[in-house]
Amino acid sequence: MLKLCFHVSSISSFLSCLFVSSFLVNTLVSLPFPRSDQIEILLSFKNEFPILKCDFKELPFSNNDEYFYQRQQPKTRSWTSKDVKSFDGVEFDNETGVVTKLDLFDACLSGSLSANSSLFRLHHLRYLDLSHNYFESFSFLPELGNLTNLEVLRLSYMRLAGEIPSSFSSLNSLTELYIFGNELTGSFSPLFNLSKLSSLYLSSNLFSGNVPSSSKLEYLHLSYNRLSGRILEPLSKLTNLKYLYLSNQNTTDPINFVSSLGFKSLQRLDLSENTVSRLNIGSPNLSMLHLDNCSINEFPTFIKNLQNLEFLSIGNNRLKGQVPEWLWSMPSLKYLYLSENSLDSFEGSPKMLLNSSLIVLDLRSNAFRGSLPVISRRLYFMLASNNSFEGDIPLSLCNQSYLGVLDLSHNNFSGSIPRCLITSAVEGLNLRNNNLIGRFPDIFDKNGSVRAVDVSHNQITGKLPRSLTNLKNLEVLNVEGNRIADTFPFWLKGLPNLKIIVLRSNKFHGPIYAPQHHLSFPQLRMVDISRNKFTGSLPHDYFVHWSEPLISVPQGQEEREPLYVGDNFEYDYFPSMYLRNKGIEMELEKILDTYTEIDFSENKLGGQIPESIGLLKSLIVLNLSNNDFTGHFPSSWANLTRLESLDLSQNQLSGKIPQELATLSFFIDTLVSLPFPRPDQIEILMAFKNEFPILKCDSAEEYYSYQKTEYWTSKDSKSFDGVVFDSETGVVTELDLEGACLSGSLSANSSLFRLHHLRYLLLSDNYFDSFSFLPGLGKLTNLEFLDLSYMGFSR
């Protein structure tokens, strides 16, 4: 044995020597941080994926996905043995130096992840996230069962197919499992004995069978699966369950949710898009309840006993008559969504809402009539569009402390806009399509938060309020269809965020060019000044200083989810607008952030069309029709490669059509073309596609089944396999989805039934969970041919 001897000459030198010895001992016995073998394993794993493919189109996203706002990052690209900090997404244990966490969410991994991957040598892993990566096969899945220290496993949106591997039964430490957004089938049996499991996210798969009965299970997400039969009875044994999401199942049996089942710990419940026959929830701690599209005929009275309820959504049902008075006295209720019913009035006093605790109230698309009720001062989100409210806009709205969004559009309100209505807190104001008169109040102050103002289709007179220049956050200004008499608002160019200006169908007049005013709106994407009395000519450099979004072709559109005007609003509010071409009106319910339009039609503009218009490389729609333009066609239009619609009709243009112009993809035989296809039709088709995020082709029919909707994209009209657009109007007239691998739920309010011009529809050889959509076909009154063969109808 080695004996260390020290000559001690003094107490102080002894203590000093002792301190140094202690330091040396600790240093000698500590492990490297991180361990070299762990670095070697990580770099080996990196080398398994030499090519990182970031493709935003490859995998679906959901606005409800907690990861929605994260962007793809090729994390492994930065990994190097030279720098420990380079291991993005990796956590090492402070004491042992082993890898305990590996977060490779959306890390651009693709290709083959083999069963003998280096990944499975990281035996100390407690957290693993491979979500939003796409591998060619799923042979690696059983190997995950060997990572027995895993506590959290995330495998969402990976297009996984097949059943949960039996090896998952070995993950005895697992507390959280996230495998939503795949195509997994079969039962949950490998999870039955995982006694520590507390969070289980299985939504958007094809599961069936019974649910794991872990006594610790608290969070259970099963929405969009194929559970059938009596779903709730086995779940009622989960005594600690707090969150239960069961929306959109395959069961033909109506759901009976009664208090005798228990669920005493339940805090959130989602039964949306199921048929509910009996409903009496006795969970005293319930704070959130989703009952949308459940075929509910009358207001459930048990709700008034839920004293802790904060969120109630019961839209798209069959409710009619009065909204019960007791709803407004619920002490905790803050969010109430009643849209798309047939409610027509409110029980009790007009002031019954005054003392409610609500901060969000959604009354859209009902049958309400009469005066708008007096609302609580706490309310900051008021949606009441598409009703029959009438009378003056209540002055009580001026008493709101934090009214962020006020949408009273498509009603019968009359009188003038109250001067006190626009407070500094208002972010979105929509008064479209009422009977409002008088002047637009000039009361916008510098502290205002307004981002969108829409007073279109009223009878407003006078001039545009000059105080609009105070709204530095303003993105949308729409005053279409009024009687405003003013000159062109050059003074709005100082608004740094203005994206959309719509002045159409008013009494604006005078020139739209002035030498002292360069039109340099920094963010402008859409300008519509049609149907006014603007005059004068435009210089050749008129468009030189126009906005960057119009001049520069946006990059990376194919590599990200589409964004809409309103995505960055504090509140969940998306401005909409009408788009007109060739006299056809269409409503864009949401406006793509990359959509661009210039409409100067039906004015008195003259002279030559400026050559600088060729600088607007991002332009999609251009309408200069019904003016007095003269001269030749600008050859610079060859640069407008994104142009889809051009109308120059009813002008005095002469000469030959430039050869460059004839090469544009939209050009056929005429310069009077409509958008082809119409943007609203594309929007509807993409919405329909998103109703079926998982396409399942029956292997027995694979020779004639084809996932047509998978390749639909708003970026390419040729991608819409099975769709025929009318060559004159741009509407969808034919939809052939025979054997298109559609399955799951086709609801009665599907986007399909918004294609009102359909003449030819094939849905044969698709298998939907229920047949509630059948009555919706009656809305397609232009149908000439309908094929619903081989769809498994049983009644």
Query: Do 175 and 36 belong together in one domain?
Result: yes
Amino acid, res. 293: N
pLDDT above 90: residue 175? yes
Q: Which residues contact 85 (CB under 8 A, 6 or more apart)?
A: none
CA–CA distance, 25 with 29 (Å, rounded to integer): 6
280 falls in which pLDDT band (50, 70, 90)?
Answer: confident
Beta bridge partners of 526: 500, 597
Secondary structure tally for the chain: helices H, strands E = 6, 50
CA–CA distance, 637 with 267 (Å, rounded to integer): 60
Report the chain's mean pLDDT, rounded to a whole number. Answer: 83
Question: Distance of CA 452 to CAs 455, 467, 474, 794, Å?
Answer: 10, 15, 6, 49
Q: Residues 305, 332: contact at Cβ < 8 Å? A: no
pLDDT in the model for residue 30: 47
Q: In which domain, by residue range, is 547 found? A: 475-675
Q: What share of the chain is helix, strand, coil (3-state, %, to 5)?
A: 20, 25, 60
Query: Do 632 and 549 belong together in one domain?
Result: yes
H or E stretch at 24:
helix 11-29
85 falls in which pLDDT band (50, 70, 90)?
Answer: confident
Give tens-digit pLDDT for 501-528: 999 999 999 999 988 877 778 899 999 9
The stretch 271-299 carries a mean pLDDT of 90
CATH number of the domain enclosing 552: 3.80.10.10
What are the tokens at 670? 């005429």
Q: Residue 104 falls within a domain, yes or no?
A: yes
The stretch 53-75 carries a mean pLDDT of 52
Query: Do 54 and 150 belong together in one domain?
Result: yes
Q: Residue 361 falls within a domain, yes or no?
A: no
CA–CA distance, 382 with 392 (Å, rounded to integer): 16
Query: Do 35 and 90 belong together in one domain?
Result: yes
Q: Residue 342 falls within a domain, yes or no?
A: no
Q: Residue 86 falls within a domain, yes or no?
A: yes
pLDDT above 90: residue 620? no
Query: Do 715 and 621 belong together in one domain?
Result: no
Q: Which residue in this structure is represented by tokens 């009664």?
A: 258
Residue by residue, DSSP assigns 489-525 as -GGGGG-TT--EEE--SS--EEES-BTTB----TT--
pLDDT in the model for residue 609: 93
Query: Do 544 and 659 belong together in one domain?
Result: yes
pLDDT in the model for residue 720: 84
Question: Distance of CA 545 to CAs 424, 522, 540, 612, 641, Å?
Answer: 32, 9, 12, 10, 20
3-state SS assignment for residue 259? helix
pLDDT cut 90: percent of the chain above it? 45
Q: Residue 647 falls within a domain, yes or no?
A: yes
pLDDT above 80: residue 671? no
The stretch 726-735 carries a mean pLDDT of 81
337 falls in which pLDDT band (50, 70, 90)?
Answer: very high
Query: Do 700 and 566 belong together in one domain?
Result: no
pLDDT above 60: residue 703? no
Query: Do 718 and 605 belong together in one domain?
Result: no
pLDDT in the model for residue 269: 94
- Nearest in space to 408 (alpha carbons), one of 431, 390, 387, 426: 431
Peptide bond into 34 cis (omega under 30): yes
The stretch 297-317 carries a mean pLDDT of 93
CA–CA distance, 580 with 602 (Å, rounded to integer): 12
pLDDT in the model for residue 675: 43
End of a domain among 221, 251, 266?
Answer: 221
φ and ψ at residue 571, rounded to 5 degrees: -100, 160
Give tens-digit pLDDT for 525-539: 999 999 999 999 999
Q: Residues 303, 282: contact at Cβ < 8 Å? A: no
CB atoms within 10 A of CB 629: 21
Query: Do 707 and 624 belong together in one domain?
Result: no
pLDDT in the model for residue 260: 66
pLDDT above 80: residue 571? no
H or E stretch at 453:
strand 452-454
pLDDT in the model for residue 555: 63
End of a domain among 675, 697, 719?
Answer: 675
CA–CA distance, 581 with 703 (Å, rounded to integer): 42
CA–CA distance, 646 with 653 (Å, rounded to integer): 14
121 falls in which pLDDT band (50, 70, 90)?
Answer: very high
pLDDT above 50: residue 3? no
290 falls in which pLDDT band (50, 70, 90)?
Answer: very high
CA–CA distance, 183 with 159 (Å, rounded to integer): 6
Between residues 633 and 406, which one has the greater pLDDT? Answer: 406
CA–CA distance, 412 with 432 (Å, rounded to integer): 10
What are the tokens at 784? 């000439």
3-state SS assignment for residue 18? helix
Residue by residue, DSSP assigns 160-186 as -EEE--GGGGG-TT--EEE--SSEEEE
Report the half-sphere exposure of 406 (CA within 13 A, side-chain side): 24
84 falls in which pLDDT band (50, 70, 90)?
Answer: confident
Between residues 779 and 658, which one has the greater pLDDT? Answer: 779
Indicate the number of domains in the chain: 3
Query: Do 646 and 735 belong together in one domain?
Result: no
pLDDT in the model for residue 375: 85
Q: Which residues contact 569 (CB under 8 A, 6 or more apart)?
A: 427, 428, 451, 452
Q: Residue 340 falls within a domain, yes or no?
A: no
Query: Do 566 and 619 belong together in one domain?
Result: yes
Query: Do 632 and 695 belong together in one domain?
Result: no
Q: How long is the chain?
A: 795
Q: Residues 156, 179: contact at Cβ < 8 Å? A: yes
CA–CA distance, 768 with 94 (Å, rounded to integer): 52
pLDDT in the model for residue 426: 81
Q: Residue 298 falls within a domain, yes or no?
A: no
The stretch 485-493 carries a mean pLDDT of 94
Residue by residue, DSSP assigns 402-440 as S--EEE--SSEEEEEPPTTS--TT--EEE--SSEEEEE-
End of a domain among 194, 221, 248?
Answer: 221
Give tens-digit pLDDT for 356-394: 899 999 999 999 999 998 888 888 899 999 999 999 998
Q: Residue 64 falls within a domain, yes or no?
A: yes
pLDDT above 90: residue 60? no
